[in-house]
Amino acid sequence: MCSRNDNEDGSESYMEAKSKPLWSSTCQKCSGHNPVIQILQIKHAYCKNCFVTHVNHKFRSTLGKSKMMRPSDVVLAAFSGSLKSHAMLHLLHAGLSEKSHKRFLFKVQFIYVDEGAVLGLSLAERIANLRAIATLAEQYGFSGHFTSLACLFDSSGPRCFPLNKNSSLTAENSLENELQLLFQNIVSLTAKEDMLKQLRKQLLLLAAKELCCGKVFMAHTSTDLAIQILTDVSLGRGSLMHHDVTFCDFRDKDIKILRPLLELSSKEVAFYSVYHKLDNVFIPSLCTKMASDSSIHNLSKQFVMDLMENFPSTVSTVFRTGEKLGSTSSPDNSEEDDNSCIICQARLEVNLSPCTSAQATEFSRLISSLGPLGFDSKTLSSISGSNGAESCCSGSASNCCCNSNQDSPSLSDIMECCCYGCRLILHDLKSVSSLSERILEQVRRRKSLNSMRDSIKDFLL
């Protein structure tokens, strides 16, 4: 079809990529040295010394203007061995080494989370990575710890161990088998990456509580958060985006997750690491050597990287816009735990409007799985006995299939305790029995409390 704007540069024309500007002849700050780095535009050209000062100022101002840090705080820094996490440790060490009144007064510890069981690494490779991490971090003098992702499946044993160059991993075969079974039962790579992110956050919060740390530092740059914004919107977590991309994530009532690098781009962190000769330990991820369209996160990352190359200012716009978006009913961390998601700890929307996209999706799922007569169209809850379980057997025998697994929560029970984004993970999960016992126990407790409320709601007290 023809358009009136075919031969005109109207509002429907594509935005053309800007040609790379020429280098400025002088530094923006000191005007006396040839610039060695150019940030976003030609007016942001810095020499080496001014650039390092610029990064330090951004890092310190991010912590200072939040007014959340106290001299008595003990901070747990998540250290993965990447350049950005190493740069965060270097900036923290520089702030603690200041001789003036600007010195950081809080204490810092760091922790390394071993995810080798999920990534398919051998025990020897995981031990080598662990000792390489300890070698990188020993120069800063921080108290180091390490833990394994499989510890989430152990409710009684210790989760954190001291980290040094002689540290070693002991493979807990039963726990690691449970962890591997969970990820084997997840079908899509997108759901695997989302589940790994949520499990990592859960483990960091548990480790912070065990080490008596009130805050957790994550090395997320503005580029990472721009990718996370697009990923969250695609995965149905748009209402929770505010917690994932702002400076503070306060969903846990005891521990706060802070992001001190959110004002820095990945380019700035990379140049800072080069100037200070910071090494890194390469540890593969789930999406290593995968195509850009293998998962939603990879696709979002490729899109943002293309924006950085052709339209660098747009990435900052995406990040700043995501900071200002959030749910109309802001969560309060003083609320009951029964009103939060058991996987990501987000607030559950219990008072939904009469017609929402989430209810439409749930209605379509019930029609497909139970049929038109298998659920109540008003409450969108399944009708007991509609799945044919009553015709299985009489249920009198102790080994009957109807009562052999009464304590195991069903998929619908777990769905009721999850937000919309985490429900999408469960849709790609073959068996809910592979979830950790801690999650299943929370579902049992909430189900018991709900049945108790239903039984006494008509009583006169």
The answer to whether residue 238 sits within a structural domain is: yes
281 and 343 share one domain: no
296 and 258 share one domain: yes
260 and 342 share one domain: no
Where does a domain end: 293, 325, 357?
325
342 and 265 share one domain: no
Surface-to-core class of residue 411, CB atoms within 10 Å of its CB (0-12 exposed, 13-18 middle, 19+ buried): middle
Mean pLDDT within 178-183: 94
Beta carbons within 8 Å of 317's beta carbon, 6+ residues apart: none
> For 428-444, how does the pLDDT look when each residue is reduced to its tens digit (9 = 90+)?
999 888 998 889 999 99
222 and 199 share one domain: yes
276 and 304 share one domain: yes
Mean pLDDT within 293-298: 92
- The whole domain housing 133 covers 52-325
Mean pLDDT within 274-299: 91
343 and 268 share one domain: no
254 and 175 share one domain: yes
- 112: number of CA atoms within 13 Å, CB side? 32
The answer to whether residue 366 sits within a structural domain is: no
| DSSP percent split of the chain into helix, strand, coil, nearest 5 | 45, 10, 45
pLDDT grade, residue 310 (50/70/90)? confident
> For 220-234, how does the pLDDT look when each residue is reduced to its tens digit (9 = 90+)?
999 999 999 999 999
pLDDT grade, residue 391 (50/70/90)? very low
266 and 307 share one domain: yes
pLDDT grade, residue 180 (50/70/90)? very high
Number of separate domains in the chain: 2
Residue 403 has pLDDT above 60, yes or no: no
Instruction: Check residues 385 and 249 and name the one with the higher pLDDT.
Output: 249
The answer to whether residue 131 sits within a structural domain is: yes
In whole angstroms, what is the distance from residue 43 CA to residue 30 CA? 13
200 and 112 share one domain: yes
> For 151-163, how does the pLDDT look when each residue is reduced to its tens digit (9 = 90+)?
998 877 668 999 9
**Three-class SS state of 236:** coil
Residue 380 has pLDDT above 70, yes or no: no
DSSP 127: H
Residue 388 has a pLDDT of 40
In this structure, what CATH number is given to the domain that contains residue 319?
A: 3.40.50.620
310 and 429 share one domain: no
320 and 422 share one domain: no
Where does a domain end: 294, 325, 356?
325
Mean pLDDT within 326-349: 69
Global pTM?
0.84
